[in-house]
Structure 1
Amino acid sequence: MQVKDEKGNDVTTELPKGHEWDQEHLWLAVNAAGVALWAWNVDTDLLTMDARGFELWGMPWSDNVTFEELSAHIHPSDRDRVRAAFAATRAVLGDYETDFRILIGDEVRWIAARGKGEDAGIVGRTMFGVFLDVTGRKQAEEGNELLAGEMSHRVKNLLAIASGLTAITSRSSPNSEDMARELIGRLTALGRAHDLVRPTSAGEDAAALLGDLLSILLAPYDDLGAFKGRIRVAVERTAVGESAATGMALVIHELATNSMKYGALSQPTGTLDVTSVAEPDHIVLTWVERGGPTVEAPSSPTGFGSQLVKRSVSGQLGGSIDYDWSDGGLIVTLRVKRARLGF
């Protein structure tokens, strides 16, 4: 039997020896492979298909069907391309091969059509070929493309954030050691938030509960005190998308870092409580520090950390932040728009 190799050269092949390949055995092999057989008369435009072919196209059995009738089931975005490819086989030598979508009610299936055109295997002006259901493979390919695009988007965003943090931190840090420590802390906070909200598969929304996000971001500071559990989080059960988680991570990290330097978390017995109040359009988080040194409102101009917090709160979270430098300890009120917590 004459066939073509990958380079288009004619080669001779034979059926496997040691067994007589009759029609019944060939049909068993075809059915096992899920192959639908078809023959197309290029002059009359009539196609004949086996039972699997009509099942694949979601059509009732018929002795023959025209290519135009089949075309009515092809996805509108692919129809002209497939028609042009089939029409070209009347004059183009060689193999015919194309993949396209068909519509079976609301279901979309991917079909691979393979055949021979003109004098390459044509018999009596009839072209022979096969249809294959490749829906699973196409869906996997589309999933991989979506995942690759999503990963590219995420990497670009993270690199942009890292570049911005590096540039601004370098201007606000007195030496390289402080810069490295502050930058690593901020990037680590972003990493923890990113891990929590990353999707587990392509196309799946990334979300975390607000309480889980806050607990994970504050967990490293809880271990630095005299007792476990000095940081308590009791907030509304609501989901946080990736964008909001990034902003929230930066804000919480800055507040916790300042508390470790000057506030309640700088003392082994200092405590921190984070609670929330529900409003129709906002969630109001209250950060209350107790048991630390006496705190005073800063007299110097706002530093980079405070600027970063305000920018994150107003830009990414669509809210506001207020500080109360009370005698008992710092109280921070963070107001966040509910609409900004989503995706």
Structure 2
Amino acid sequence: MRETAQTGDGVMSELPAFLSRGGEIARIIAAHRWDTTPVGAIETWPPCLCSMISFMLSSNLPITLLWGEDGVMFYNAGYAEIAGRRHPSIMGSKVLEGWPEVASFNRHVLESGFRGESLAFEDQHLVLMRNGVAEDVWLDLDYSPVFDEAGKPAGVLAIVHETTRRHFAEAEAEQNRERLSHALNAAGVIGIWDWHLETGNMFTDERFAEFYSVNAERARHGVPRSEFMAAIHPADRDDVEAHVEAAVADGVDIALEHRLLHADGSIRWVMVRGTGFRDASGRVVRVSGAAVDVTDRRVSDEKRRLLVRELHHRIKNTFAIIGGMVTMTARSVHSVDEMANVLRGRLVALAAAHQLIRPAITAELDEVEQTTFVDLFQAILAPHLVRSDQLVIEAPEIEVGVVAATSLALVLHELATNSTKYGSLSVADGTLTIRGRQAGTSLRLDWIEAGGPPISGPPPHQGFGSRLASMSIAGQLGGEIEFHWQESGLHVVMLIPMERVIR
């Protein structure tokens, strides 16, 4: 059977049988002057060529047939779409001339095919001029040799599938994922998740999976929710499960915070939010949401709670100290003016100590600027000195805690007040040396006065200052204090446990 077709010179002719089902492309093939090509006139074509063309024209896949060692081109309607504006002019052309911009690539294809080899390329990038301008194109290409009746390679059959749109869609999706990742990261979001209740599987992004110690590639395709639950701190796991079950049952959003226990023993706090999606019957079938790393906020909150408790404790202690000072001062003075002066000095010493330790009870706990003994001694004793060189401090740079600084401030003030009245600081040539060193598990402090009025022995009765000093060192700091009334001057020895020094 033959079909009528119009040739290039307008003459109507019948189509050969092998072209009868090729439509417009078959008519283009029939009308071409093949006698001017290496293939020769249609009447001379071998059966194997006619069979391959018939197969190619009947296929819905984009196919091109490169015949002979010159690779003369035949193709079907699917390939014509890929060829763009080069169709139909490349029909019957040599492939190296029809696609000169990829001649090197096609030469390799022809050489391989005529060696009887097949080739396959997935998402092959080529730059084509199919529409008059350079264009990035991605193709899946499968090349197979075609053999003649004698079993020798006679051509190459190429199945061509353009993946350009898919490539750009995937590239855009990847860009969107990167933008989303940057946005989530800027917002402190760990990642996003999607839980399918019917299967129990969770689908997550890479960041979420890694944070929960789940393989990211598996999580992208869905893994049992139990694998994510395994990363939750054991102490929180039951509460999380109960909260989630109740939220799903009641049809409300999931909103909770819990700890994650990582393999290295580190703990992170996460805030999880999720919203349910219902089917036509109103039943929740999916829950999707995100998780945020709130570890820093949790740590900060805990520090604030500790700070409030610490401030409350310190204020109570301060009022207790002041109350005790008022009571004991009232018992040891003879007039209101004297009581006012004594109390004022002691309160000033407390204020100086507080100014030194203020960062320790108001700053963030891990950013505390600790007070050293040298700082404390200089702050409390400076008002009692006539000359700066009267005071010699030989103490290590040991940090002193809040409790120890408060108690020592009162002791130093009382000792300095007595020295100003009766001891070495009452005369211009007097000196005061303070030495500090570690003695076993305690800190030893020596208060040594020299150059003051001679001392004949201890006073006939213990004054309030001495009692306050003993109460502070022994009662507040769990230490010991001894007074040595030497003729050259007062020598006080204080032993304070190191664990109390830093409190």
TM-score normalized by the length of structure 1? 0.80
CA RMSD of superposed structures (Å): 3.0
2:371 paired residue among 208, 233, 237: 208
The aligned counterpart of 1:15 is none
Paired residue type of 1:304? F
Change (3 A) 1:177 1:113: same
CA distance in 1, matches of 2:292, 2:442: 53
Q: Which has the larger radius of gyration?
A: 2
Residues 156-179 of structure 1 deviation map (CA, whole Å, 9 limit, x = unaligned): 222222222223223323223222
CA deviation string 1:99-122 (max 9, x = no partner): 111122222222221122475998
Instruction: Give the match for residue 7 of structure 1.
Output: none
**1:150 matched residue in structure 2:** 310
Task: Say whether residues 1:112 and 2:268 are aligned partners.
Answer: no
> 1-side partners of 2:268 and 2:284: how far apart?
31
Q: Does 1:251 align with 2:411?
A: yes
**Counterpart-to-counterpart distance in 2, 1:286 and 1:37:** 64
Letter in 1 for 2:201: L
C-alpha separation in 1, matches of 2:222 and 2:256: 22
SS in 1 for 2:270: strand
Q: Does 1:91 align with 2:242?
A: no
Bigger helix share: 2
> 1:92–1:117: 8 Å Cα contact kept in structure 2?
no
SS in 1 for 2:375: helix
Q: TM-score, normalised to structure 2's length?
A: 0.57
**Match for residue 33 of structure 1?**
184
Cα shift at 1:146: 2.4
Give me the whole-angstrom Cα distance separating, in 2, the residues matched to 1:108 and 1:331. Answer: 53
Letter in 2 for 1:72: A
- Structure 2 residue aligned with 1:267: 427
The residue type equivalent to 2:257 in the other structure is D
Specify every segment of 5 or more residues in structure 1 that has no aligned partner in the other structure, as ranges: 1-21
Corresponding position of 2:215 = 60
The equivalent residue for 2:198 is: 43
* Number of equivalent positions: 319
Distance 1:278 1:100 in 2: 45
Identity %: 35
Checking the alignment, whether the CA contact within 8 Å between 2:254 and 2:274 is kept in structure 1 is: yes
Q: Is the 8 A contact 2:251 2:284 kept in 1?
A: no
Give the Cα separation in 1 of the matches to 2:373 and 2:390. Answer: 19
Partner Cα separation in structure 2 for residue 120 and residue 269 of structure 1: 94
Please state how far the C-alpha of 1:84 moved relative to its aligned partner: 0.6
Aligned residue among 252, 259, 262 for 1:101: 259
Q: Identify the residue that residue 69 of structure 2 maps to in structure 1.
A: none
Residue 18 of structure 1 corresponds to none
- Per-residue CA distance 1:240-296 (angstroms, 9 max, x = gap): 333222222222111100111122212233222223465334444332323333444
Residue by residue over 1:53-103, the C-alpha shift from the partner in whole angstroms, topping out at 9 and shown as x without a partner, is: 212323212121222221111112211111011111332133221111112
Aligned partners of 1:291 and 1:328 also within 8 Å? yes
- Cross-structure match for 1:293: 453
CA contact (8 A) 2:457 2:487 kept: no
Amino acid of the structure 1 residue aligned with 2:309: G
Query: Which residues in structure 2 correspond to 1:1-343 (within 5 Å)?
Result: 27=177, 28-29=179-180, 31-34=182-185, 35=189, 36-61=191-216, 62=218, 63-105=221-263, 106-117=265-276, 119=278, 125-197=285-357, 198-199=359-360, 200-203=363-366, 207-222=370-385, 225=386, 227-276=387-436, 279-297=439-457, 299-343=459-503
Alpha-carbon offset, residue 303 of structure 1: 2.5
Aligned residue identity for 1:42 = L
Kindly provide the amino acid, as one letter, of the partner of residue 271 in structure 2.
A
